[in-house]
């Protein structure tokens, strides 16, 4: 059975002191939930976050990693470095990495292979831009993002994959996909995976929705049968909002 997941992507926000404060607030208020709860602070604060959450069920995940095992890649972080500090899940393919740091499908496929080879669970982000949706190409774009990054994997590898559908036009814009739009795309994603692999792979993979999820809209989005949780940006930076979103699942 697939897991329900609520993850907070903190992006380039929160210094060390703010990280500690937010984590302490979150773990103090964490409701009982069947969902896995994850937070992704910036690299420099990952170790501190792991220590802070030692006695909490909140998991610390990374926002990015490099595809090489080690070497002359100034400014980059390897799979081993993450594992070594107790981080075993990594976001890969966020639209901000694609848009601002030139991460192509080819690069992302390499990162995913390296992550899986090292036993790191991958939260793979993808989603269409506004233009694609306006021109009716959103299904085609999403299918090709999935195919290029994930369809050469072995079936077994899928137990280590979490998907996060994040339509670019909904990220940080306050404009959310409607629950119906989210459900329609999530069902399409599941069908595409079932066709490429099989029904059990498709049924067992968690597909999160991301893009302006807030306490006020989370419950309705999460109520859709193919939406298994959310990847939350802005609202994950405010303890009470993130807690309310966890409660919504
Ligand atoms: P917002 O929730 O701020 O729209 O960000 C979504 C996101 O990009 C999560 O990865």
Q: Is 94 a catalytic residue?
A: yes
Distances (CA, A) of 120 to 4, 75, 89: 19, 20, 5
pLDDT for the residue 28:
96
Residue by residue, DSSP assigns 98-146 as HHHH---HHHHHHHHHHHHHTT-EEEEEE---HHHHHTT-HHHHHHHHH
Q: Is 20 a catalytic residue?
A: no
Place of tokens 């893009």: 211
The rounded mean pLDDT for the chain is: 97
Q: Which residue's C-alpha comes closest to atom 1 of ligand 1?
A: 233
Q: pLDDT tens digits for 91-148?
A: 999 999 999 999 999 999 999 999 999 999 999 999 999 999 999 999 999 999 999 9
Across 190-218, average pLDDT: 97
Determine the distance separating the centroid of ligand 1 and the alpha carbon of 4, expressed in angstroms.
18
Handedness of CA 213, 215, 221, 225 (dihedral sign): positive
Q: Which residue's C-alpha comes closest to atom 9 of ligand 1?
A: 233
Nearest Cα residue to 14 out of 45, 38, 39, 54: 45
The mean-pLDDT minimum among 41-45, 66-70, 167-171 falls in 167-171
Determine if the pTM surpasses 0.95. Answer: yes
Q: Is the pLDDT of residue 174 over 90?
A: no
Q: Is the pLDDT of residue 183 over 90?
A: yes
Q: pLDDT tens digits for 51-92?
A: 999 999 999 999 999 999 999 999 999 999 999 999 999 999
- pLDDT cut 90: percent of the chain above it: 97
Strand partners, 90: 62, 122
pLDDT for the residue 176:
87
């Amino acid at each position: 059975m697939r897991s329900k997941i609520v993850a907070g992507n903190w992006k380039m926000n929160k210094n060390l002191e703010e990280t500690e404060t937010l984590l302490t607030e979150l773990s103090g208020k964490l409701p009982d939930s069947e969902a896995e709860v994850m937070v992704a602070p910036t690299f420099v604060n990952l170790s501190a976050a792991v220590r802070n959450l030692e006695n909490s069920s909140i998991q610390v995940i990374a926002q990015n990693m490099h595809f090489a095992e080690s070497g002359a890649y100034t400014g980059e972080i390897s799979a081993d470095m993450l594992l070594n500090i107790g981080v075993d899940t990594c976001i890969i393919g966020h639209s901000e990495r694609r848009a601002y740091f030139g991460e192509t499908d080819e690069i992302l496929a390499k990162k995913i292979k390296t992550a899986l080879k090292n036993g790191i669970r991958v939260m793979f982000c993808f989603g269409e831009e506004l233009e694609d949706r306006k021109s009716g190409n959103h299904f085609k774009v999403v299918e090709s993002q999935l195919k290029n990054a994930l369809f050469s994997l072995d079936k077994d590898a899928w137990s280590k994959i979490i998907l996060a559908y994040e339509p670019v036009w909904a990220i940080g814009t306050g404009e959310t996909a409607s629950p119906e739009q989210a459900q329609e795309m999530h069902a399409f994603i599941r069908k595409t995976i079932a066709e490429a692999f099989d029904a059990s792979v498709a049924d067992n993979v968690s597909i999160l929705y991301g893009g302006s999820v807030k306490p006020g809209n989370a419950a309705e989005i999460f109520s859709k049968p193919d939406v298994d949780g959310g990847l939350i940006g802005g609202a994950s930076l405010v303890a009470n909002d993130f807690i309310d979103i966890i409660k919504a699942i």
